[in-house]
Amino acid sequence: MTKQIITLSDRAAQRIKEIMANAEESSIGVRIGVKSGGCAGMSYVMEYAKSSNLNDEVVEDKGVKVLIDPKAVLYLLGTEMDYKKDELSSTFVFKNPNEIERCGCGESFKI
């Protein structure tokens, strides 16, 4: 059995379910990708997925469907997605074993 590209913590799966339930337009899941930018070179991108693209990698974990942009697969291999909430903010956190550097604000990373 091959390892999933990305796994979800219980908190992340629950938060995605909440987001999907409150979405204004119907979506089949969330799409995760990476883009160039930020202090360390790359940042994670999340958006509603209204449909599956031909080359998307589809991961189903804890009742949630996550579509991975094919250009992001190599950057995300082995990543765990978590959800963190404190008094001032709430955010999805990516625990990526491929990162060699992360900027101080936590918004971008380098592989």
CA distances, 71 to each of 6, 32, 57 (Å): 14, 10, 10
pLDDT in tens, 75-103: 889 999 999 988 888 888 888 887 766 65
CATH number of 6-110: 2.60.300.12
* Domain boundary assignment for the chain: 6-110
Provide the 3-class DSSP secondary structure of residue 17. helix
Question: Does residue 1 carry a pLDDT above 60?
Answer: no
pTM of this structure: 0.79
Nearest partner of 34 among 59, 71, 87, 79, judged by Cα: 71
pLDDT in tens, 16-41: 999 888 877 788 889 998 888 666 67
